[in-house]
Each structure stands twice: as structure tokens, then as C-alpha cells.
Structure 1
Amino acid sequence: MTEGSEPDHIAIIMDGNGRWARRRFSPRTEGHKAGVRATQAIIEACARRGVTALTLFAFSSENWRRPESEVRILMELFLRTLRDEIGRLHENGIRVRFIGDRAGLGRSLQTEIGRAEEKTAANGNLTVNIAANYGGRQDIAQAARRVAEEVAAGRMRPEEVDARTLGAYVSLSDLPEPDLFIRTGGERRISNYLLWHLAYTELWFTDRLWPDFDSAALEEAIADYQGRQRRFGRTTEQVEHQRHA
């Protein structure tokens, strides 16, 4: 993929809700609510552009370290938003999937996640993957454990295990790897997010806080992506030759 092409898969760390609220002397919960509205707008923008997949980091495995009261509010907001929005997403042909350890989530949320996935399973306009209680290292460790089980059962030989084999067991293995990674909020790190998947992804960071990230900001990120040349280990000359072949 070279300059000017559209990203098929976009991955986003939605950072800055709390700081957005603090700057307005509001409770952090108001920031999270504003973040939900921003998420709705970006899903709609990606659907309009014809993006194939959008993967959103909603709650990391490390976020349990936050104050108990904030975690509780986040889970309640997560549950309420899922109930309120799944009908609209389904009507627009959007498929919703979840990655992460859902067993660590509340029973009501687990039930709603299952319903959302079942209801939208056949939709094909855009796949929205929501990472909840997710960690990249845990994802790779789980994949390695499953491969080890295959070897132990005699269904796979140790010498058959390579990057391609392991990659078939990580989350989202049925989708193309992200073309573009976006992180809002000013931080310049990937924070244990999709570690396996981001090996060749173009990274884009912005100081804009997530509630302020809109379709215009998305366009800016995509325009920057389209100005880059993705070589995947090849030379510029090789890429140009393939482009014009």
C-alpha cells in the first residue's frame, strides 16, 4: 500500500476524557460521556469513508488500577451506551465485536456484549472492534498458550510454529492488520495495545483530547497517512516499480 490509498483498518486509543472534564471544572464522568459522543461521530465518519474495520481501545487490562468509583461508572456507562446504540448501529449495517477478557467484566455487561455481537454478526458495512479488558501482551500470551496446546495434543509440530502460525491465534486474526493507528490526548506511546498487530502500522499522535476529536481531525490523520510511503522492508524503488507495474 502506497501514498494516496485509503486505510482499510484504523485503530484508536481514545485518550483524554478526564483532562477534558478537568479543564471545564466538571466531573470526570462528564468527560467520559463526551467521549461517547465523539466515538459515535468517528464511527459514522469511518462508515461514510468505507473503512473496513475500526478498533477502539475502550478499557485496558491496566485500567482496573483506576479509582473503584470511576471504574464502576465507566462500566455502567459502557453498559448503557451499548444498550442505547446497538439498534442504530445495526440499522446502519455496522458489525460490533469485542476483544479482551470479557470474563472479567460484570455479568450484565457480558450478556449485553453477547447480544450485540449476535444481533450485528451478519452486517458488512463496517466492523467496529471494541477492546475491553484487553492487553496486547495478554493477547500474545493467550495465542502462545493455544499453540502450545496444539503441540501438546500432537496436532502441530514444534518446527511448524512461526510468526504466521502464532498470528492466526491472536485477536482479530481474520482482519487485515491496522493501516493507521491514532492516539489522542498528547501521549506518544501505544500502551500495551495491539502489540502484535501494530508491527507495520503507521502511527499518528495528536494533542487533541478525545472528546474534541471529530471528523475533521480524522480527515487530518488520514491525509497524513496518505502522504506516507509504506515499504514493508522494501526499497523506495521497489515500491515505485510495483506501483507503476
Structure 2
Amino acid sequence: MDGNRRWAEARGLPVPLGHKAGAEAVRRTIEACIQEGIGWLTLFAFSSENWLRPIEEVRALTGLLRLYLRAEVATLAREGIRLRVIGDRARFGLETMHEIERAEAQTAGGTRLNLTVALSYGGRGEIVAAARAVAEAARDGRLDPATLDETSFGGRLFTAGMPDPDLIIRTSGEQRLSNFLLWQAAYAEFVFQDVLWPDYGADCLGQAIREFGRRERRYGARAG
């Protein structure tokens, strides 16, 4: 979800107000996904690299996260939306970790939309953590390395039990993956949209879905 900072700076506003506007775009996009009948939505909200941003911005982002969890969890549960968080949540501290766990538990029964939020997430780190788990299991005699395959390795990723993404949308004109779902995106379709995230909504999502519908997905099985 790119462009919060640029959106704020273009309007002469403090960066935290750009992130607040980005949170409103999250709400619009969730509603649009439900209207489109989409069952799974993953939002890349805070990368492992984002910790390198100015401390004031990081504090504003984490504060907004806690506020959103407290204010929106009841609505998510009422609307049948199940929330999951992937990433190194421990870096946010105990208070935020407890807020995340409470939100996940309160929305666990949702079946209308599976909403996954990537926080303190990095695809390379995720793969390294899974590889470390495999190595430890083999060392302890709990895993025969000869039996390891893509399915069993995938079961050790943060996204275990989730389907791989069909479509990855990148906003604000950026055209790179930026360490997002590196393993899971192997056969995803990509749509790049030149709109800043705070301006995102149903129209933009609809355009991306229509573009996706025009693609012929081959999964490497044949050429031409």
C-alpha cells in the first residue's frame, strides 16, 4: 500500500495524516472486496525495512495500528471478516502483540472475507525462518530431509493454510515486489496502478480485477 507519505507531502500535511488517510483506504478496499465476492485479501502494511524510517513516523504508524485494532475489531467481527497478522509481531512490543491476538481471536469465526495484514514482514526473513525450522526438525530427528517438498516447506511459512495469491496489486506507480510474499507469488499476476494508496477504492480495485480477468494464466505449463 504505497504512497501515504507522498500523498501527505503533496498536500502540505504531516506524514501521519497520510497514514491516517491510508487507513481509510483500507476500509474502502475491504468493503469493495466484499462487494466483489473476493474471499482473501492480504495487505502489506508495514515491512521489516520500515523500522528504518524516522522514529516519529514509526511511532505514528504503530500508534495508528493499535488504534485501528481497538476501533475496528468489533466491526470486522460483525461483518464476518477474519483477521490474521503475519510477520514478526514481537517487534511491536507486548501491548500491540496482545491487541493483535485479541483481534484475531475475536474475528476467528469470520467466513465472509479472510483479511491478512503483513506487519513487520519481509519475504526473505520468512523463508529464512522456515528454513531454520526445517533444519532444526532434521537435527532433532523429527524430519527426514528426503521427505521435504514444496508443500511441507510451505507449511512452515507465515502463510501456512492460506492460498497463494492470484493477483498482486502495486500502487503509486511502483513496479517491484519489495520483499513481499516472495515464495507465494511464484505464479501470481501483477497489476501496477499509478494511484497513491490514500486515494484507493472500489473503482481502482475494479480496474485491477478486470485487468486480471483478461489474463491467461499458464503456470509455466506451455508457451505461446
* Same fold by TM-score greater than 0.5: yes
Equivalent residue for 2:84? 97
2:109 corresponds, among 122, 128, 141, to 122
Distance across 1 between alignment mates of 2:159 and 2:111 = 16
Report deviation, 1:59: 0.5
SS of residue in 2 equivalent to 1:87:
helix
Structure 1's unaligned 5+ residue stretches are 1-13, 238-245
Counterpart code for 1:74: L
Large movers: runs of 4+ above 3 Å: none
Instruction: Read off the aligned partner of 1:171 and give its amino acid letter.
Output: F
Structure 2 counterparts to residues 66-77 of structure 1, below 5 A: 66-77=53-64
Matched, 1:142 2:129: yes
Give yes or no for the alignment of 1:38 onto 2:36: no
In the TM superposition, what is the alpha-carbon distance from 1:26 to its structure 2 partner? 0.8
Q: 2:71 is matched by which residue type in structure 1?
A: D
Match of 2:161 in 1: 174
TM-score w.r.t. structure 1 length? Answer: 0.89
> How far is the alpha carbon of 1:235 from its aligned partner?
2.5
How many Å separate the matches in 1 of 2:126 and 2:34? 27
Shift of residue 164, structure 1, vs aligned partner: 2.4
Report the TM-score, using the length of structure 2 for normalisation.
Answer: 0.97
Q: Which amino acid is the alignment partner of residue 106 of structure 2?
A: K
Q: Please give the secondary structure, in 1, of the residue aligned with 2:84.
A: strand
In 2: Cα distance, 1:164 partner to 1:81 partner: 34
Identity fraction in percent: 48
Question: Equivalent residue for 1:224?
Answer: 211
Structure 1 position 236, deviation (Å): 6.6
Aligned to 1:240: none
Deviation track 1:93-121 (CA, whole Å, cap 9, x = no partner) reads: 00001000111012221111010000011
Which of 49, 58, 79 matches 1:62? Answer: 49
Counting only pairs closer than 5 Å after superposition, residues 184-199 of structure 1 correspond to structure 2 as: 184-199=171-186
> Residue 118 of structure 2 is aligned with which of 128, 131, 145?
131
Structure 1 residue 155, shift from structure 2 partner: 2.1
C-alpha displacement of 1:143: 0.8
CA distance in 2, matches of 1:190, 1:58: 14
SS at match of 1:62: helix
Q: Which runs of 5+ in 2 are unaligned?
A: none
| Offset at residue 165 of structure 1 (A) | 2.2
Q: Which whole-Å CA distance do the structure 1 matches of 2:95 and 2:142 have between them?
A: 37
Other structure's SS at 1:86 match = helix
Q: Which has the higher contact order (CA 8 A, sep 6+)?
A: 1
CA distance in 2, matches of 1:39, 1:33: 10
Q: Give CA-to-partner distance per residue, 1:200-245, whole Å, 9 cap, x none.
A: 00011111000111100000000000000001122379xxxxxxxx
Alpha-carbon separation, structure 2, partners of 1:166 and 1:23: 44
Hey, what's the Cα distance between the residues in 2 that align with 1:30 and 1:79? 16
- Measured in 2, the distance between the counterparts of 1:181 and 1:21 equals 24
Give 1:166 deviation, angstroms.
Answer: 1.1
Q: CA RMSD in A?
A: 1.2
Counterpart of 1:95 in structure 2: which amino acid? Answer: R
Structure 2 partner of 1:26: 13
In 2, Cα distance between the equivalents of 1:167 and 1:175? Answer: 10
For the residues of structure 2 that align with 1:236 and 1:177, how far apart are their CA atoms? Answer: 22
